[in-house]
Amino acid sequence: MEQPLIIPKVLPFRRRWHVISEVDLGPLLADHAAVRRMCRDVEALADRLGSYPSIEERSAIADMMHGCIREHVAVTSELLERLFAGEHLTFGGGILTRILLDQIADGVHAEDVAEALRAEVLEPEQLDMLGYMLRCLFDSCRRALDFEELALLALGGKRLSTEARMALEHILEERPEGAAA
C-alpha cells in the first residue's frame, strides 16, 4: 500500500485579536512624555535666544533633540508594528503612513536645527531665523504626538482596554495651555 505524499503548505500567519492594555502603551506614553519635555526645553531656548546662549548650552539641546527624536521613532515604530502589522485596516494604512511621514519630516527638521544650534557664533541676523526654526520644530513635534495618540484611539478602537483609552484621553486633555493646537 502506497502512502499518500504529504505536501507541506505554508499557511498565512494571522495575529490574534488582542486587547491593547495600558501596559502595551507604557513605552510609547513614556516616550511621548520625554518628547514633550524636549519640546519644553527647545521652547525655553527659543525664548532665550536674545541673550545669546552659549555654544555648550546650544550643543546640549541639539544632542538632546537628536537622541530624543531617534528614540521616539524607534519606540513608535516598534509599537505600531506590534499592534497593527498584518491587519487589514480599513483606513488605518493612511494614518500609519502619515505618522511615518511626520517622523521623517521632524527628523530632517531636527537635523537642520541642530546644525544651526552648533554654529560657533550666532550673528544677530540669525536669531530670528533660528527662533523660527526652533518654534516650528517643537510645534510640529507636539502636533505629531497628538496625532499619534488620536490615531491609537481610532485604530485601537474596541481593542483598547478602558485604562488604555483613559490614559490616551487624559494625555490629550491635559495639555498645558498654548502647547499645541
Name the DSSP letter for residue 53.
-
Q: What is the DSSP string of 82-134?
A: HHHTT---SSHHHHHHHHHHHHHHHHHHHHHHHHHHT-SS--HHHHHHHHHHH
Would you say residue 72 lies in a domain? yes
Q: pTM of the predicted model, to two decimals?
A: 0.83
How confident is the model over 16-37, as a mean pLDDT?
91
For residue 30, is pLDDT > 90?
A: yes
- Facing residues of 94 across strands? none
Q: Count of domains in the chain?
A: 1
pLDDT tens by residue, 91-104? 677 899 899 999 99
Would you say residue 65 lies in a domain? yes
pLDDT tens by residue, 125-142? 899 999 999 999 999 999
Would you say residue 175 lies in a domain? no
Task: Residue 93: give the domain boundaries.
Answer: 24-142
Would you say residue 131 lies in a domain? yes
Q: At CA 72, angle to CA 66 and CA 74, rounded to 5?
A: 105
For residue 110, is pLDDT > 90?
A: yes
Name the DSSP letter for residue 179.
S
Would you say residue 155 lies in a domain? no
Would you say residue 176 lies in a domain? no
pLDDT tens by residue, 51-80? 999 999 999 999 999 999 999 999 999 999
